[in-house]
Structure 1
Amino acid sequence: MFFIKIKVLICFLLLLSGCEFSKYQSTNLKYTHNINIETPNNKYDMLLKKHLDRLFNNRPKKDTNFILKSNISFTSNETLSVSGLNVLQSTKGTVRYSLIDSKSGKILMSGSVVTFPALSSSSSSLYTNDVSLQHIKERLILSSAKKLYLKIKLIMKKLN
């Protein structure tokens, strides 16, 4: 008799936790919107689009509620190292974006996101400097995509 009561209690707890998890998922799905991301056709903008698609979990067959137009640009400045002996390249990424309602065509929000500067290595090889700059740009794209995702997510929460 004791074992039957324990089994009934365990089944009750499992059913209760299953109901709680389904309620949690339904509230999270309420805020999801499918966003069509438009970028220019160059290497770095396409990487930005791919990262944003992954973050937003966009599905290609679903109707889009919003259009996000974005492009990324990079600026590099020469800076000195901590010891003051080497010249380093400091690179910043800037994403300009505008969020448009696809039904009305009205711009909901526009602005820019600036990443923190990233320093490249100081090498005498041109190939090493070029590869280092490419890696820095790819890291900055990932960082700016995450920042833009959080900003758009806040905008979507305000709209609901």
Structure 2
Amino acid sequence: MLTGLALGDLAWLALGAYAFHMMEEYQFNWRDWARAVIGLPVSWSDFYVTNGIVVVLGIVQAQMAAHVPLMPLVFAALMLINATFFHVAPFVWTRGRFSPGLLSAVVLFYPLGIAIFARAAGDGVLTPGLAIGAFVGGAVLMASPIIFLRLREKPYFQQTP
């Protein structure tokens, strides 16, 4: 079903999948899960801002997919990294404790992420360097909010008068 779609169409579907994923995370209280299971000092405002940025990046990557294939590949890599390291792996590590976002990660992120890489390969634009760049970009995007969460606790970054 996904194999016949253009890269741009898949990129828009990826944004839709991410929106659904955010709703699942919110409805099943990702914030408290993240605090308890992976020890992130995250608030709901952190969740909202980070996911707002993901939506903006999702729109940009979908709009630019035909001209800059690296962008949907980075977004797809972000989805695959998120699914693997922030949903499936914690589910395994905790011996089956539900991770908010797990369902959409497995049902939507894996098929769409893989389909985007497959479409880029089928279009002849996927090179080993582009694939590596996509995963590096996805990893940087995934790590950025976590790094900022950790840095803001340091005295240098405190903004109190």
TM-score normalised by the chain length of structure 2: 0.24
- Structure that is richer in helix per residue: 2
- Structure that is richer in strand per residue: 1
TM-score normalised by the chain length of structure 1: 0.24
**Larger RCO: 1 or 2 (CA < 8 Å, sep 6+):** 2
